[in-house]
Structure 1
Amino acid sequence: MAGIGLVLIFMLAQATNNRALYERNYARLFTLNMVVAGLLMLVIGWMALRLWRRLRQGKFGSRLLVKLAAIFALVGVVPGILVYTVSYQFVSRSIESWFDVKVEGALDAGLNLGRATLDSLTDDLANKARVAGIQMSQVPDAGAALALDRLRAQLGASNAVLWSSNGQLIAMAGSSRFELTPDRPGLQQLRQVRVDRALAFVEGLDEAATPGGPSVMPSIKALAQVPRPGFELVGSEPRYLQISQPLPSAVVSNALAVQEANREYQERAVAREGLRRMYIGTLTLCLFLAVFGAVLLAVLFGNQLARPLLVLAEGVRQVAAGDLRPTPVFQGRDELGGLTRSFADMTQQLADARMAVERSLRELDAARANLQTIQDNLTAGVMVLDSGGAIMSTNPGATRVLRAPVAAFEGKPLAEVPGLAEFALAVQQRFEDFESDAAQHGLDHWQHAFELHARGGGVAHDAVSIVARGARLPGALRLLVLDDISEIVSAQRAQAWGEVARRLAHEIKNPLTPIQLSAERLAMKLAGKLDSPEEAVLSKSVRTIVDQVDAMKRLVNEFRDYARLPAAELKPVDLNALVSDVLQLYGSENAKVPVQAELDPRCPPILGDAQQLRQVIHNLLQNAQDATEGMAQAPNLPPVLIRTRMSDSGQRVRLIVQDSGPGFADPILKRAFEPYVTTKSKGTGLGLAVVKKIADEHGARVELNNRMGDGHVAGAQVSLSFAATGDRRAGPAGPDGGTTPAS
């Protein structure tokens, strides 16, 4: 940078005394100045950015470096700006003083005077040419030469030429008569003469002002229109008179001298501005060099002073971050070097102590990992709450039991978990009651049953029954253990309904037969003994009694079948053959809703009780027909579809029944297999309960869901998955090898 500065100063000094050298190298000097200034700005900006980053990162010694840089920068910048300001004013005013404003004004006045003189001469010649044209209007073309010669002598002109309207030469007088091709006026000049009657202009002055140009004597040319004499034919074209008069040599030399002086003055004025810019640019570059040197010295000296402190600060940061490796030692004999060595010894002692602590922590982590593994694999949910009800920690079992994303709400109150606001309030109340009674009664925990997500009488698609147990933990924390007892409650309901069904079947069935027999005997005894109206009433009443007794018997039989369902005798059963046998009762002549079958011929035999599986198929087909019949009118009823499918692994066989009914509401789906849960107005709600009970006897998985189509419920689907026996015998196949249509 110092070498570039010296070169620039040398070139500037040479350019001051040699303007040609300055003009040739001005662009290069200016570009080099800008490049050097830009590089200096980039370096200074980069160094300032590094200092700012170190300061933002909180590195030790950053503030010291900033202060040193600021001090040195001020030491270099403030005097530099002062010198720069004084030098700027000196250069600007010194160069401006080289050029006098009065001289420039005098040159402008001389130019204006010369232009005014030329304008006066041209106007005078134009007026003379206009008068001469009127005089020449009476002169015929034959005598025009003599008249032109007299006119030239009278006006003191050098040439006089008479032109026709189409630019043809008629006559001439003066020196131009010796020229073969005298300059003829242009069409534009002739058109202007027709309008203004006369035209005058200066010719040859620019050529005379050009150095090395042709030696042409400047002159004034005037062009005037010459009207035709009165005896000429009407509409004939006018003639044009051209007069050339040389300018006075004194006027020409004075005008050229003033013009040349003004041109040179303007060139020097332009050079003055460039010279001023070059001086100012050089001063600016020197200012940047001073700033750069000041900042560079600040950084270098700051590093020398702060290096031992930075080494110590880096070691402190490593220790604070837990890195106890040996730290660098500053190789110096002063106090700072001794401090770094003492710090290295202390770090080694901390490392030895840390190794002992880490061994203890590893043992503690292993015990904690074992406890966490046990907790994560518990089926029960475990939650830790603080005194305000906020969730401190959970295990995966809590999410499964509560059917809510409690893990995503750690650190937030339990009441903010969607759907658990009432549960959180009840748990909080239980803990408060427990803490108030624990000291008095010596209790160590509390226990309570809850029904979650229940709506409309406790029925919901995601309803869950849980038992919660709470206890206190150290640190004002609370332990909450949750167990899902939904399956137990469902089994208890099923067992209760079985007991109800057994008692109803015993209590109701006995009186039904005497009631039916008494009604039929009453009808036999009174037959033919009553008038027609009374006999009709009697017949209608007896028929009603008999029909209702039959309905009660069917209801009692369903309760009896549910309560006394015998244990399944599992034997290999061909499910395809069993379905085909049952479908014979659902032909078009027997069923209002047609049934279509799609049986997979690859299905292996399953372990099952043929009689109970036949009852399952009947119940599912009847429910599907009832649901489909309630959605449309015959004969446009869509068929009920029954399918069998073998899994990809070949180890299970699925039985699927689909209908086109209204499907199930969400609150019914969860408890559809419980007794007395039904969507039919005349149903008992035992059909699907029997299916579920038989599926449990067979170890089959049963699923119930709605079929969706175009965003709407298109019907319901019940599927049962049975384990195969391993016998790969295929069931009957239809004509196409895949389906067996039943109707």
Structure 2
Amino acid sequence: MRDRLEAPKNQGASRSQRRFTVRYGPAVVILVLLIALGSFLIFAGFTPVPPSDAVLLGLLIANVVGIFVVLCFILIEAYSLFRARRAGVAGAQLHIQIVALFSIVAAAPALLMAWVGSVTLERSLNPGFMHDGRAFVQTTIDAARLFREAQCKSLLQEARLTASDLDRAKLMFEVDRPLFRDFFTSRTRFLGFTAAALMKPDGSVIEKIETGSAIGTTIVRPEPADFDDAKKNEPLCLILDEGRTFAAVRAMISFENTFLYVARPVDPFTVEFPRQAARLVTLYDAFDSHRRSIQIAFATMFILIALIMLLSATWLGLSFANRLVAPIRRLIAATDQVSSGNLNVQVAVRKSEGDLAHLGETFNKMTSELRLQQNRLIAASSLIDERRLFTEAVLSGVPVAVVSVGSKGEITVLNPSAARLVQPDGEGAKSILGQPLDNVLPEIREVFAEARAGQSRMAPAEISIVRGGLERLFSVSITTVPTGRGGRSYIVTLDDITDLVSAQRTAAWADVARRIAHEIRNPLTPIQLSAERLKRKYGRLITQDRDIFDQCTDTIIRQVDDIKRMVDEFSSFARMPKPRVENNDLGECVRRVLFLMRVAHPNIIFEDSLPEEPVHGRFDRRLLSQALTNIVKNATEGIEAEVAASGPFEGHIGVALSVSEDMVVIDVVDNGKGFPKDNRQRLLEPYMTTRAEGTGLGLPIVAKILADHGGGLELRDAPRGRGAWVRLFFPLDQATPDQADASSEVVTATATQDS
């Protein structure tokens, strides 16, 4: 449905007011214009009427009355326009603009005429040579000032050169004082100084030169501030004798706390001439102020005439606008509706309106095209919203952290995984938007800089990130996306591959252990049997060096047993049994392990914090006991290593068991050697150990046992100074053993370092 707009009726002015202004308005305006023209002709002297005071007063009154009458007509029209605008009639503002246009067109010639008359009057009362004479005098004053400044600069430069020469003659001053005085005198007379001396800051004169000049020979003591400025090597020119003498003070480098004082008289002409020229300019300004009064009188009359022209043009503009604005009002009303969102509007077109009718037809075509484009934009916007929602849903569901970075390195978008990586508590993620990526994720600063500097579209890398005391390994991929203005934006993805890398390394080491055990186990038994047979058969036959023979055979047998035990550990790690989960009391399991450790290590204090109630859950009691035994055993070995390194102290091991949200946590804290600060993550890899006699399989076995139970292992620093803190955690209740078998494929173990 289309809305057609008809021409609104003007209800702004009453009929009587319009009849009055239409009947008498043109006559009044013409009469006022004739009065203004007559005033101009009389002022210009083109009429036999002399411009006497009475005539000028009469013309002034006539012009003022004419201005008042025309102003009344304008106010009537303006009131009508005000009522129309207050009623909301379209086109009232256009009336004002048209009137302003006519006023400017009329006022411009009037103002130009007033300016021409003022210039003419100016030229008649002030000949050009007088203005040039004043400018010449002012320029001469400036020239005298510049000449004085040049003399001052010349004096400063020559004083600096003289001070430099005297500094070089310091040895002459100390060895041959008369010769130094002669040198000083020659420099003073050569440079034309009327006074020269070496003085101290207190005013005492060390050396004074008699120049024989008639004037300017008096040495005036400078102020203390002048000496301070000279020490700072600042150019200092003193004006003495009411401006008739210039003096300069320079600090001497070779003479301790000594200054060079030189003076030179100034040409008296440069002192007296600016004063006389200033008095001449004052006299000229007094004459100029009298001339201004005449110009003001003529300018007043010209302004009145210009005001008459302006008001007449305003009234004509109001009258003409009434006929011109009707079709434009329809367009304005239609445009208002278009601006409010109604694109179905159409304006009425009348052929008699000429070009404005064509404008109405063009407006109708425009609204039709806009309506079509709006429908297309709405459809495109709906499609974009659907795609945006789909993209947000995908990004919020993926575990990979995704960060969008602008061309200047600022963060523009980040998904929930990235927000949790940056802010583990999930708060303040919105405040991160707009911040530089280097400040939020400093760990990827180098990778991001390489990606920005390179031309490759994708830049992969691996980095370690520590958040909340947890060290995790991330695979970083930075993709470059060209922007519309020739710039580039970036998509940074961070995938946590800690568990994957740990599982791959564990599987690789398990395969290596399996091969080593297979290759080493076979020759061990023949070696041991051969050594035992040699000892039995030839032990009684050997009479010489029997002890050495027995020692060698025993060493072979003992070392073979050690290698067998090591191979058994390799085999145990390679073929870790699958957990047989059953309902057990975890608290009782921890108590048994601590009992055995207290018996084995009576010199270490064991403290436990266990719940009084049974902690029932489904787990493999034997494997978890083995894991906890290994951890406590490592704690005792750490204490023993610290005792050997630092001396005897009271060993302490604390074991705490807690349950939180169906997750059981076992904390083992000791005050022993502790974990290394660097590469702590490597301790969870097979065959990585910090002890010379260790195999490096204890912690990997514990991590695998906990992973098979769906949990993990964390290595921390003891909260109270030195020592280690190991945290074991796993779900308290697993549904079926099959789930435990499936979870054994992934090892979850993280190393942490508390700052």
Q: Shared fold (TM-score greater than 0.5)? A: no
TM-score normalised by the chain length of structure 1: 0.43
TM-score normalised by the chain length of structure 2: 0.43
Max Rg structure: 1
